Amino acid sequence: MSEFFRSKMTKDSFLANMTMGRQQLGVAINSKFIDMAYSKVDPASGTKGEIYAFNYLDTYTIGKFYERIVVIKEKDGVFRLAGLWGSPAPK
């Protein structure tokens, strides 16, 4: 996980939150890439660096969701997860 998340929560807390959120959706059935965004500054957190956001339309057992995965390039040159958000897609 990214330096930003490491400064806000423990690894165990991060993994627990990811697991709990995903189990409620059921089995992943399909994933469709929608688009990508790039920035050098996250206006919400003030984090600076290479920041990529990838948007998907994912289908799970209970329905379709838009999901955004954000990664940040850390000082060691490795991209790490900085955020994962989701919202139900209109039917």
- Count of structural domains, the chain: 1
Mean of pLDDT values over 60-65: 93
Which range marks the domain in which residue 17 is found?
3-88
Give the per-residue pLDDT at 1: 59
**48-62 pLDDT tens trace:** 889 999 999 999 999
Q: Are the C-beta atoms of residues 26 and 62 closer than 8 Å to each other?
A: yes
CATH number of the domain enclosing 51:
3.10.450
Residue 2 pLDDT > 70, yes or no?
Answer: no
Give the per-residue pLDDT at 12: 82
Q: Give DSSP secondary structure letters for 39-73.
A: EEE-TTT--EEEEEEEEEEEEETTEEEEEEEEEEE
